[in-house]
């Protein structure tokens, strides 16, 4: 596990807690050191602060993901900063706004790791068996974890993919943000509903604004449109 955080007090606090949970923890205090530590230490998950000296968390995330897909939990200063990051397509898997509780950080990291393991297991188990989901012009290949709309492939993060599949398995059905959090993030506490909103924004940006309908105060529904190609 890698923690990239320039405030020594916060970095130490996080590292202590994660070490107490039994994880091996490396700490990097600036962006370039973070990229280097991700390269040499090959962490299974990265806790990444956005505001860093040198290159910021966005750039660290891009450089690390360009070499090897690693789950990233990003620490932001404000909720609207999370939306801004999603708009830029940074590709983090989860976001937490400071200040946060260590208990919540640990729970989210555990959920993130469970999700990665489950996704790998699903791919292995269903490689030859899961038929593609076809909804209008949207095609989701679960075995290959690939998505296309009207013949154009979209590149989704693992979390975006899982969210899309969850919505696509119940098309035209409104799923509450709490249910999506539980099913996709494996996260029972409803305090992370903004994370759901952020990932829906990312899916709309990558697959078109009309695909997922917002039901205000309730949740989201996938609305198939267009016709299958061929
Ligand atoms: Ca910082």
Work out the burial of residue 224: count CB atoms within 10 Å of its CB; fewer than 13 is exposed, 13-18 middle, 19 or more buried. middle
Identify which has the larger pLDDT, 129 or 19.
19
Say whether pLDDT at 164 is over 70. yes
CATH annotation of 2-122 = 3.40.50.2300
pLDDT of residue 93: 85
CA 148–ligand 1 middle distance (angstroms):
37
Comparing 79-88, 141-150, 167-176, which segment has the lowest mean pLDDT? 79-88
pLDDT of residue 77: 86
**Mean of pLDDT values over 32-60:** 95
Identify which has the larger pLDDT, 137 or 80.
137
Domains of the chain, residue spans: 2-122, 125-222
CA 140–ligand 1 middle distance (angstroms):
38
**58: Cα separation from own chain's centroid:** 14
pLDDT of residue 82: 73
Work out the burial of residue 13: count CB atoms within 10 Å of its CB; fewer than 13 is exposed, 13-18 middle, 19 or more buried. middle
Say whether pLDDT at 26 is over 80. yes
pLDDT of residue 176: 94
- Confidence tier at 87 by pLDDT (50, 70, 90): low
Maximum average pLDDT range among 14-28, 86-100, 139-153: 14-28
- Confidence tier at 46 by pLDDT (50, 70, 90): very high
pLDDT of residue 67: 85
CA 186–ligand 1 middle distance (angstroms):
28
pLDDT of residue 200: 92
pLDDT of residue 20: 97
CATH annotation of 125-222 = 1.10.10.10
Identify which has the larger pLDDT, 134 or 230.
134
State how far the Cα of 3 lies from the Cα of 72, in Å rounded to an integer.
10
CA 28–ligand 1 middle distance (angstroms):
11
Predicted TM-score (pTM) of the model is 0.74
pLDDT of residue 89: 67
CA 82–ligand 1 middle distance (angstroms):
15
For 112-155, the pLDDT digits (tens) are 888 888 777 766 665 557 788 999 999 999 888 899 999 999 98
CA 10–ligand 1 middle distance (angstroms):
9
DSSP 142-182: TTTTEEEETTEEE---HHHHHHHHHHHTSTT--EEHHHHHH
**Mean of pLDDT values over 186-210:** 84
pLDDT of residue 74: 92
- Residue 81 in contact with residue 57, Cβ under 8 Å? no
CA 6–ligand 1 middle distance (angstroms):
5
CA 45–ligand 1 middle distance (angstroms):
19
């Amino acid at each position: 596990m890698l923690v990239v955080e320039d405030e020594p007090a916060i970095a130490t606090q996080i590292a202590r807690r994660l070490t107490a949970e039994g994880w091996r923890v490396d700490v990097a205090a600036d962006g370039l050191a973070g990229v280097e530590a991700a390269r040499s230490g090959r962490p299974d998950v990265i806790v990444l602060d956005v505001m860093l000296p040198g290159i910021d968390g966005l750039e660290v995330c891009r450089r690390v993901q360009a070499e090897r897909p690693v789950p990233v939990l990003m620490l932001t200063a404000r909720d609207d900063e999370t939306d801004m990051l999603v708009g830029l397509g940074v590709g983090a898997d989860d976001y937490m706004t400071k200040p946060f509780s260590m208990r919540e950080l640990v729970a989210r990291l555990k959920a993130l790791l469970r999700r990665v393991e489950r996704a790998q297991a699903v791919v292995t188990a269903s490689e030859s068996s899961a038929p593609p989901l076809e909804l209008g012009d949207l095609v989701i290949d679960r075995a290959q974890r690939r998505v296309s709309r009207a013949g154009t492939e979209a590149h989704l993060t693992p979390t975006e993919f899982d969210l899309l599949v969850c919505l696509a398995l119940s098309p035209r059905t409104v799923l509450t943000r709490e249910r999506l959090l539980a099913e996709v993030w494996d996260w029972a506490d409803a305090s992370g509903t903004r994370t759901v909103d952020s990932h829906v924004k990312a899916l709309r940006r990558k697959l078109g604004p009309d695909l997922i309908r917002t039901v205000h105060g309730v949740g989201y529904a996938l609305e198939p449109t267009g016709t299958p190609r061929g």
